[in-house]
Structure 1
Amino acid sequence: MAEQATIERTKQAFAQAFGGEPDLIVQAPGRVNLIGEHTDYNDGFVLPLAIDRGTVVAARLGGSEIRVRAADFGEDDRFTFAERIEDAPPGDWRNYVRGIIAMLVEDEIAPQGMQLAIAGDVPQGAGLSSSASLEVAVGLAVAKLAGADVDMTRLAQLAQRAENEFAGCACGIMDQLVSARAEPDKALLIDCRSLDCKPVPVPADAAVLIVHSGVERGLVDSAYNERRQQCEQAAGHFKVAALRDAEPAQVESAEDLDDLARRRARHVVTENERTLAAAHALADNDMARLGQLMADSHDSMRDDFEITVPAIDELVGILQREIGEKGGARMTGGGFGGCVIALLPTERVDAVAAAVRRDYHPPNGKPPLIHVCRPAAGAGAL
């Protein structure tokens, strides 16, 4: 859930832009992924959790058009039909908002006229899925204004389509689904083919430590879409629907597969195995096993999928050294910058954070941003 200051900022933005009180206020959280990277669009498995940062939307029915105030940018948008803004820069907030509204219009659960004020506290460019948080929050607010009892999995699917078709990022379903369906104090093991979600309790004495590397990333501009294309080509080579259906031995023994395609495929098929094993380790409170799986995941992202950067590798190394066998650390998110996640005993947080501040020097020259949290609840009304 977003912080109280963000909720108040949203209310103030609504009053300033539209006057009076909103009909309702909703929130949707950002997320961090424990393990399972670039597996979601390969129909595989992921193990994310919601964080205590998110997007808040204050909404009211009325008028003959849709008016939107984005408090974080001091910008407005107004439209009658939710068409994509073709000349908008990559990542423009308006296309995320217009995208999810357009999807709801297709499902006939969007009112004709409304006012929306939006504010968020998920750091942008950090790999914590501010975009999915925005899409799910707006989607939930609009559906509630329409009086629709929208299924949260369906809402996540519409939000994913909005990101694919309006924002231009070929993301999988993970970010939107965990934002919509997360449970407090639990990670969510998601089967990205069936969309089955299995809550996995996070031990009560464990803390989630998120450290921003100081390297900003932008998925639309990065090699994210390129990696997805490479995975689809590898799946085509094996004549399977997605790399989820390929086996490690099959990948290693394929004589006519070039080295790049083999490494991309090897990451995905082994990451799926690691993710399922990590869910068992987490449920059993086997932090040493979980830590090893997280380390193997990071090595695979670095060597086979090639989505880490030197600063990220350095930061992960510091965290792994300090945590030892009592937890683990790895890069999280689409890659090429963003955040590192660590799971460790709560009693070790201060000492580990102090080591990061002492030994890690972000490329942007600023002190490292460190956030400590427990798994939060998914989207809902406030």
Structure 2
Amino acid sequence: MSAELQSKAAKLFADRFGTVPDAVNFAPGRVNMIGEHVDYNDGLVLPMPVREGTAVGWSRVGGDGFEVVAADFGEDDSFSGEPDKPGEVSWRSYVRGMIAESELGSGGMRMLITGDLSRGSGLSSSASLCIAIGRALAQAGGVEIAPVDLARAAQRTEHNWAGVACGIMDQMAVAAGEPGHAMLLDCRDLTYSHRAVPEGWAVLITDSGVTRGLVDGEYNIRRAQCEAAAAALGVASLRDASLEQVAAAGLDEVTRRRALHVIAEIERTRDAAGALATGDLAEFGEILRGGHVSLRDMFEVSVPAVDAVVTELQAAIGAEGGARMTGGGFGGAVVAVLAADRVGELKRATGREFLRVH
């Protein structure tokens, strides 16, 4: 956590509650390098944490009441005992969901939430919020919780309190990621390893300018289409399917394209981990470019404004690196990977602002 964000959370807490917090907990956002829409298909993904994230200042209070302030919204929430679901999905849904799903809340607390992640940018601000809340609850209760268990509680919060049938990539990357490393995560058994990003590479993020939303239904529709494809192929998940099976199955065109994306994307993730290990920037860039085409044409989760940003970045980067949309789609961020000594050149060529991950 940056010292600035920690100080900000502590100051805002003191301004609001008139006392210093007992502690401040932090969780980062994440960028997914490759492996999009495969986590809920038991696939392989390659995310990494970003520097920005969510900070929660907190203190214990008597009783079982919670008083929570979302400083960036100028909003608050309070309740006692077992939380009820709010009337509509908002930041309150994630806070209340984590308290209920993690089973870590053992007494009353005051919390103040602030962060420096752009909401709707595809950098997993919701997972960052959930994990930060979970860490605060655990520390307040004197409980040790494994990253996998924290991630599962955050996933249940998304499912049961926000209505998003997400996989577990975001939550695992936020809960267990290491700075400067990509996490090769097997979403079937949640085994993972940290893969160092070469020092000579730069990983950048830029906002497409289109705020994305997953609760509009499209994300859940894509998951249902993948489940239908797996059922038609007679496999437990698309992780177990092959391109040959899809070709022989007589699927309708939409279901076929969804399946082809997932199968190929899992293989792209394996190849990307190999390119990281060998430092092959040209191969890694080619994988990113192929991933974006598949998300645009086969999975149909990109939008023209995002495609335009990707095209602009790829033209400026050339063969030594690449760019693609990142996150669930329908807007949000674009990730670019290139030689570190060419970052200034890319900024001059595009005039764009970037967050630097590595």
Per the normalisation by structure 2, the TM-score is: 0.97
Kindly indicate whether residue 354 of structure 2 is the aligned counterpart of residue 370 of structure 1: yes
The residue number in structure 2 matching 1:313 is 307
Q: Give matches, 1:104-253, under 5 Å.
A: 104-105=102-103, 109-253=104-248
CA positional deviation for 1:30 = 0.2
Q: Give matches, 1:1-382, under 5 Å.
A: 1=1, 3-64=2-63, 65-88=65-88, 90=89, 92-105=90-103, 109-255=104-250, 257-357=251-351, 368-374=352-358
What SS does the corresponding residue of 1:308 show, helix, strand or coil? coil
RMSD: 1.2
For residues 65-124 of structure 1, the C-alpha deviation after alignment (integer angstroms, 9 at most, x for no partner) is 111111111111111134343422x3x10000000110122xxx3222111111011100
C-alpha contact (below 8 Å) 1:200/1:282 kept by paired residues: yes
CA positional deviation for 1:134 = 0.2
CA positional deviation for 1:324 = 1.6
What SS does the corresponding residue of 2:318 show, helix, strand or coil? helix
Letter in 2 for 1:24: A
What SS does the corresponding residue of 2:46 show, helix, strand or coil? strand
2:285 and 2:168 map into 1 onto residues whose CA distance is 25
Per the normalisation by structure 1, the TM-score is: 0.91
C-alpha contact (below 8 Å) 2:27/2:129 kept by paired residues: yes
1:33 and 1:275 map into 2 onto residues whose CA distance is 11
For residues 267-325 of structure 1, the C-alpha deviation after alignment (integer angstroms, 9 at most, x for no partner) is 00100000011011111101111111111111100110001111111111111122122
1:84 and 1:163 map into 2 onto residues whose CA distance is 15
CA positional deviation for 1:328 = 1.4
The residue number in structure 2 matching 1:365 is none
What SS does the corresponding residue of 2:319 show, helix, strand or coil? helix
C-alpha contact (below 8 Å) 2:232/2:249 kept by paired residues: no
CA positional deviation for 1:129 = 0.4
2:223 and 2:91 map into 1 onto residues whose CA distance is 23
For residues 348-371 of structure 1, the C-alpha deviation after alignment (integer angstroms, 9 at most, x for no partner) is 1111122222xxxxxxxxxx5421
What SS does the corresponding residue of 1:35 show, helix, strand or coil? coil
1:262 and 1:37 map into 2 onto residues whose CA distance is 17
Moved over 6 A (4+): none
What SS does the corresponding residue of 1:306 show, helix, strand or coil? coil
Letter in 2 for 1:68: V
Letter in 2 for 1:282: L
CA positional deviation for 1:253 = 2.0
Letter in 1 for 2:243: P
* Greater relative contact order structure (CA < 8 Å, 6+ sep): 1
The gaps in structure 1 that reach 5 residues or longer are 358-367, 375-382
What SS does the corresponding residue of 2:338 show, helix, strand or coil? strand
1:194 and 1:121 map into 2 onto residues whose CA distance is 32
1:289 and 1:373 map into 2 onto residues whose CA distance is 20
2:230 and 2:178 map into 1 onto residues whose CA distance is 33
% of aligned pairs identical? 49
